[in-house]
Amino acid sequence: MLYFIHYETKLSQKYIDFLVDFCDDKSADDIICVIKNKKDLRGRIDKYYYKYSNTILFGIKEPSEDIFIKYLQNIIYDTWNNEMIQEDVFVGPVNLIYDFWKDIEPGENIHKFVMKKMKNQRFSQVLDFKYDLDYESNIFHKRIIDTGKDKVSMFAIVFVVFSVIYLFKFSVVFIWKYI
């Protein structure tokens, strides 16, 4: 059975708790697709997904075309396999979704939780990742990051600016000493 779960606001702890409870009484063979709006879907899930029925597939965020903004986005949002994860749209079998989300702590940052899970995973028995990305965009549209909508914290900008200044100063001192 294929279930669609649609939410209208930002993916939050409330929706994740609902999702974990929803998975409790479903068969392990059932597949759940979580989307924010209908525009997230590109095509028919059943057409592509059943060949990946041992994986949770997440959507991919497409960074800005501006090279400086893209650099900042890669630092701030973090990447897995050089891609930014769209943590709020995914599809997968009930048992994997339940295992993935059951450990999230109340108030924990959802994006950081997803990145931690992605980076700590191991290959499964068939040499595939348990959690992967929809690289071909067969299921999910790539969401382009709009810098006006996804706010970058002032702390992150100040941190990057001071890091660049520090590295520049350190490299000048290093060159000055050894020349």
DSSP string, 10-75: ---HHHHHHHHHHHHTS-TT-EEEEESSGGGB-S-HHHHHGGGTTSEEEEEEEPPSSHHHHHHHHH
Q: Give residue limits of the domains in the chain.
A: 2-63+82-146
Among 114, 57, 121, CA closest to 91? 57
Six-digit token string for 51: 């060949």
Provide the pLDDT for residue 70. Answer: 72
| pLDDT tens digits for range 1-41 | 888 888 877 788 888 888 888 888 888 888 888 888 777 77
Taking 50 as the threshold, does the pLDDT of residue 177 lie above it?
yes
Provide the whole-model pTM: 0.68
Average pLDDT of the residues of the chain: 77
Q: What is the Cα–Cα distance from 39 to 42, expressed in whole angstroms?
A: 7
What is the tens place of the pLDDT at every residue in 135-147?
776 777 666 555 5
